[in-house]
Amino acid sequence: MILGKRVQKNKIFIFSLVIITGLFLMALFAPHLVSHDPLKTETENWLTPPGPDNWFGTDRLGRDIYSRVVFGSRISLSIGFISAAIMIFTGTLLGALAGYYGGIVDNLIMRLTDIIIVFPVLFLIITLISLFDSGFIHIILIIGFTGWPVVARLVRAEFMSLRERDFVQAIRALGASDLRIITRHILPNALDPIVVAATLSVPAAILAEAGLSFLGLGIPAPVPTWGNILREAHGYFRQAWWYAAFPGAFIFVTVMAFNLLGESLKDLLDS
């Protein structure tokens, strides 16, 4: 009840949640929200400014940018959510093992974490993409498995604190297994930073995908994503402002909404 009242009073939380829900519904019902095929080229209508027939204008091949942005949300948001899920699962698993057992387990996991963190994330992702291909699954896996170290450190710190609490010592004295102690007693008490990390991991993954697509290493054309639409718009900024403005605005709004959600969740859980 108290948390519900705090949520109702937190306008930033509600505002960001409404935006995220709207983006999710847009991706879900994309085929019902557009009247143009996002892959259909109409070269006679290339670089047409926004109007009644093409709300966001057309691109260099005459394709409807509104349709491409709407359908692109499916790929961009899917990569964001699935990559974030991989980050959270991997980081939580390794962080929990490191924080609970300590010793050599902690040293091995933290050294692996340090090795990944020491490399700039974008350059590490680009290196891995160059070794494989830029398919949908590969991009998700690479972004997910390079983004877990921050989560692992947060979870490790929580577990190291909680494992020394009296209730954990009492449960251990009663003969509970390590698995039961970790999953049933420590993990539920360490969920707050994990939930916040999850909301902040989604925009990080979306930005990573957009960066890769802009560099030509993301989802290959003609499949639309917000990032590769921006790449295609490069060189047309002065000639057709709408080409980059609308996909860029969607990336900005999405990242802002998730960041605001994460910050407001942190405030709600800390209060």
- Could you read off the pLDDT of 19-55 as tens digits, one per residue? 999 999 999 999 999 988 898 888 888 888 999 988 9
Structure confidence by residue, pLDDT tens digits, 138-160:
888 888 888 899 899 999 999 99
DSSP state of 43: G
Distance CA 231, CA 229 (A): 5
For the chain, give the mean pLDDT: 87
Domains held by the chain: number: 1
Contacts by 158-165 with C-beta closer than 8 Å and gap 24+? 158/95, 158/99, 158/189, 158/190, 158/193, 159/95, 159/96, 159/98, 159/99, 159/100, 159/186, 159/190, 160/99, 160/102, 162/186, 162/189, 162/190, 163/99, 163/100
pLDDT of residue 3: 52
**What's the mean pLDDT in 71-98?**
93
pLDDT, tens digit, 9 for 90 and up, residues 159-178: 998 888 888 888 888 888 88
The domain that holds 229 is classified in CATH as 1.10.3720.10
pLDDT of res. 1: 46
pLDDT at 218: 80
Domain, as residue range, for 85: 2-270
The whole-angstrom separation of Cα 49 and Cα 225 is 20
Query: Tokens representing 144?
Result: 């997910």
Q: What is the pLDDT of residue 128?
A: 79
Q: Which candidate, 87, 267, 95, 94, places its Cα nearest to that of 192?
A: 267
Task: Pull the structure tokens for residue 101.
Answer: 């057992």
Does pTM surpass 0.75? yes
Q: Is the pLDDT of residue 124 over 70?
A: yes
Tens of pLDDT along 213-253?
888 888 887 888 998 898 888 888 888 899 999 999 999 99
* Cα–Cα distances in angstroms (integers) from residue 168 to residues 7, 99, 142, 154, 216, in the given order: 31, 14, 36, 19, 50
Q: CA nearest 102: which of 53, 183, 144, 157?
A: 157
Residue tagged 């450190």 (tokens): 153
Of the given ranges (50-64, 90-104, 160-174, 248-262), which has the lowest mean pLDDT? 160-174
Cβ contact 271:205 at 8 Å: no
Cα separation, 271 vs 266, in Å, equals 9
Give me the helices (H) in the chain, please: 2-9, 11-28, 30-33, 65-101, 103-118, 121-131, 136-146, 149-162, 166-173, 178-180, 191-214, 226-233, 241-270
The per-residue pLDDT for 6 is: 65
